[in-house]
Amino acid sequence: MSKLQEITSELKKRANPLHASILQRFFKTGPGEYGAGDIFLGLKVPVQRQIVRRYVDLDRKSIQALLDSKIHEFRLVALLILVAQYEAAKDLKSKKSIVDFYLKNTSRINNWDLVDLSVYKILGDFLLVTGKTKLLSELAASKNLWERRIAMIATYAFIKAGRTAEVFALAKQLLKDEHDLIHKAVGWMLREAGKRVSARELKEFLDRHYQSMPRTALRYAIERLSPSERERYLTK
């Protein structure tokens, strides 16, 4: 039995139909919804991480096969393996190979948890190290919802490194985005920038843009501010 067969067999054996039905609704998999067609086995993320640890050396062809699956957990496991391989890579060339593979598969990184659990650890880190941040703006301009979310959440790597310029630039670029998942991503990264790096810079950004921000993005962004400050932004 190949490693690909082993990992898919193990994932299927761990399936939880009751939890799967909950996830199908939670991740909006109905016709016309953002996760339409996604199929869940019902595995929790810690269980998937346990499995990943035994397959971190999975070959690229097998990872591609997992990413091509309609089963959500197959794709998430593939991405978590890529994260592990990226973190273990010894040189920039090896890391770039993983990043290039990741970018070729953005159409398969097609739900918000798949983006959030992988992008800042792979693409975000690589752009932070190499300084090739123009790609963030290009992805943020994409017609593909997931590429726009990829751009915004990738900036978490910059936040963790104490940098905010990229966060605020992307947030401004995406202020007029119409999708709720982008509003949430923008608000989340703004909140983290204020919490981890500079509350002053966050408030300066909000002072300039709060009136044009989607309400969801604004509410996420101000979560860590004082009650009086939150009230000020919500009632002005």
- How far apart (Å, rounded) are the C-alpha atoms in residues 154 and 198? 18
- How far apart (Å, rounded) are the C-alpha atoms in residues 39 and 23? 9
pLDDT at 104 over 70: yes
Q: What is the pLDDT of residue 235?
A: 87
Mean pLDDT, range 64-81, rounded to an integer: 98
Mean pLDDT, range 184-205, rounded to an integer: 97
140 burial type by CB count under 10 A (0-12 exposed, 13-18 middle, 19+ buried): buried
80-105 core/surface letters (b: 16 or more CB in 10 A; e: else):
bbbbbbbeeeeeeeebeebbebbbeb
- The pTM score is 0.96
Q: What is the pLDDT of residue 1?
A: 76
- Rounded to a whole number of angstroms, the distance between the first and last alpha carbons of the chain is 63
For residue 141, the tally of other CB atoms under 10 A from its CB is: 12
Q: How confident is the model at residue 230 (pLDDT cuts 50, 70, 90)?
A: very high
Domains and CATH numbers, the chain: 1-88 (1.25.10.90)
Residue type, 163: R
pLDDT at 236 over 70: no
Mean pLDDT, range 100-125, rounded to an integer: 98
Strand, helix or coil for residue 199: helix
- How far apart (Å, rounded) are the C-alpha atoms in residues 218 and 175? 10
Taking CA atoms, 155 is separated from 9, 33, 41, 207, 210, in Å, by: 35, 26, 30, 21, 20
Report pLDDT digits (tens) over 17-44: 999 999 999 999 999 999 999 999 999 9
- How far apart (Å, rounded) are the C-alpha atoms in residues 100 and 174? 24
Q: Are 220 and 188 in contact (CB under 8 A)?
A: yes
DSSP-derived secondary structure for 92-108:
HHHHHHHHHHHHHTGGG
pLDDT at 157 over 80: yes
Share of the chain above pLDDT 70, in %: 100
